[in-house]
Amino acid sequence: MSKQRRSLQSHGKNSRVYVPIIREIFREKFTPGCTAIDFTLDDVRRWADVLGIVTRNPADVIYRMRARTVLPLEILEAGFYILRAIGRGKYRLEVAESTILEIPDHPITEALDLTPLPVRRLLPEELSEIDEQGLLTMISYCKLLDHFTGLQVFRLRSHVRKSVATIGQAELDEIDVGVALRDDEIPVIFPIEAKAADEPVNRVQISAMVIYCAEYFPGHEIRPLAIKLDYDSLIHFLEFNPSPEAANLKIVKSCGYRLSLSDRQKAVLTPKVQKAAVKMAAELNE
């Protein structure tokens, strides 16, 4: 049975909290011809009170509308696709061509799954069911970053969450470094955003990674990457220009990979899958 595919973003039509608040903020501050609308967390609280909406965490309104829910049609029709933080408790709606970065058509490279068996047997057989941290683990073992970048890549840190002066808190799934092919030997910084099959690649998250690296790794070349898994178990690598402006991000290089299980992995994983199928059938017959 194929996995049911969910939309990468909620349409928000049924939201009684997030959509009404962001819509009223837009209506209050929009003027014809403007390309940016600034507002604060106080504006969120004020409109929540005016609308009689209870919000335990007002900042969650921004998080949900930025990454999980499509902005109201009224805002999108005016050209505002970007919602991002510009400081602690400060936010901005910006004109851009899109919020979500679509996966382009590109060649698919066949690769052998080199994940060590003790690790691989604890992960789902279907790659499409793996979360972003499991995905990053497999990519590291399979040396896909080395292949995609042409450099020898090493992991520096995982699951980074740190304050940045101009945007507030930045979150990165991973930061890797590549051995630079030049005389100064300064390593290349690879900030990485990994996305499971049901998660979109968001412009704001990519630009936040660039801003973070510019502050904490000054003087280094920055090559931002997104690694996106799809429902067909393909792994897509996207490299962007290092723009701190979300609206100016462009994909400069991309490639897809299809991992194949080794014979030894198949021998171990197949009984696990068969056992799960028997259990599911038994539950359906109860």
Class of domain 108-264: alpha beta
The whole model's pTM is what?
0.82
pLDDT in tens, the chain (286 residues): 345 565 555 444 546 678 899 999 999 999 999 999 999 999 999 999 999 988 878 888 887 787 667 889 999 999 999 999 888 889 999 999 888 899 999 999 999 999 999 999 889 888 999 999 999 999 999 999 999 999 999 999 999 999 898 888 889 999 999 987 666 678 999 999 999 999 999 999 999 999 999 999 999 999 999 999 999 999 999 999 999 999 999 999 999 999 998 888 888 776 655 455 445 545 555 5
What kind of fold does domain 18-95 have according to CATH? Arc Repressor Mutant, subunit A (1.10.10)
Contact partners, residue 32, CB within 8 Å, separation at least 6: none
- For the chain, the structural domain boundaries read 18-95, 108-264
Check if 18-95 and 108-264 are the same fold: no
Beta strands in 54-209 (DSSP E): 80-87, 90-95, 108-112, 153-164, 168-178, 188-195
Distance CA 203, CA 66 (A): 10
Distance CA 149, CA 159 (A): 21
CA 67-72-74 angle, to 5 degrees, is 140
